[in-house]
Amino acid sequence: MGKTKLLFITHEMSPFLDLTSISKITRNLPQAMQEKGFEIRILMPRFGNINERRNRLHEVIRLSGMNIIIGENDNPLIIKVASIPSARMQVYFLDNEDYFHRKHVFNDAKGKFYADNDERTIFFCKGALETVKKLGWAPDIVHCHGWMSALVPAYLKTNYKDDPTFKDCKVVYSVYDTTFTSSLGDAFAKKAVMKGMDVKDTEDYADATHTGLNKAAIQYSDAVVIGDENVDEDLLNFVKKADKTVLEYSATSDMENYYNFYQEIAADVLVSVA
């Protein structure tokens, strides 16, 4: 039996981008699982404040060249890669000049939430799955971290459910503390519909607030992780009622709880883990 293949999709990861506690988890967790025998892939956006020279990013020509369609727009997707030598891990970065070449991440210099964060999120989620397809690498588990990956569970359970790359994978979604109080807008759910999908497939995303995105992602996931100790009470109650496999928050550093969690999910034994 081959190694369990574990895909991480996140909008931040140390040392490339440190915004919240997500960056530390997505830096340490993949390495810990790799050391325990898992096969790992990591995808994140190449935001403009990620220094390419310092982090030694370079384009992966064989993966670049795809276009991601959002509404009437064809958006070129460039894939770059960087290594973390101390961990023997590679990280794939999704890049697009219009969406990511900015000095700031989600808010402009005056603190205003970018009006196109909706399209940036759709681009990232669609692009991540298309990149994995092009890699020719079929994950057993897809673990999404944070709100910017919230569409991935819906896409995997609808548009990609019969795709050979993803048809047998389990989806895990980690919820974290609220990081924005705005909304991705009233049009987000409609914009998020991919070719081959129905508007009903994204209707749970009509509430495009931080809490709404998380609730929708949970609905489409096989399992949920409570990622930190400050998750909104409303969201915690929603998780409890969702009848999903849950990994409760734990500050342990050895990641043994995650290892056991993944093993159970990969073995299709979906039970709550304390």
CATH number for position 136: 3.40.50.2000
Specify which residues 209 forms β-bridges with.
183
Place of tokens 């989620």: 125
Q: Is residue 272 part of a domain?
A: no
State yes or no: pLDDT of 269 exceeds 60: no
248 is a domain residue:
yes
Q: Is residue 35 a part of any domain in this protein?
A: yes
* 86 within a domain of the structure (yes/no): yes
Q: Give the number of other Cβ atoms within 10 Å of residue 260's Cβ.
A: 12
* pTM for this predicted structure: 0.94
Domain presence at residue 273: no
Reference 9, options 38, 31, 35, 30; nearest CA is: 30
Question: How many domains would you assign to the chain?
Answer: 1
pLDDT grade for 270, boundaries at 50, 70 and 90: very low
Q: In the predicted model, is pLDDT for residue 225 greater than 90? A: yes
Percent of the chain topping pLDDT 90? 76
- More confident: 250 or 219: 219
Residue 266 — pLDDT band, cuts 50, 70, 90? confident
CA atoms of 179 and 107, how far apart (whole Å): 11
Q: Give residue 1's pLDDT band: very low, low, confident or very high (50, 70, 90).
A: low
Which pLDDT belongs to residue 164?
Answer: 94
188 falls within a domain: yes
Range of the domain at 202: 5-266
Residue 197: left (phi > 0), alpha (psi -120 to 50), or beta? Answer: beta
Residue 78 lies in a domain: yes
Q: Is residue 274 part of a domain?
A: no
What is the chain's mean pLDDT, rounded? 91
Grade residue 2 by pLDDT with cuts at 50, 70 and 90: confident
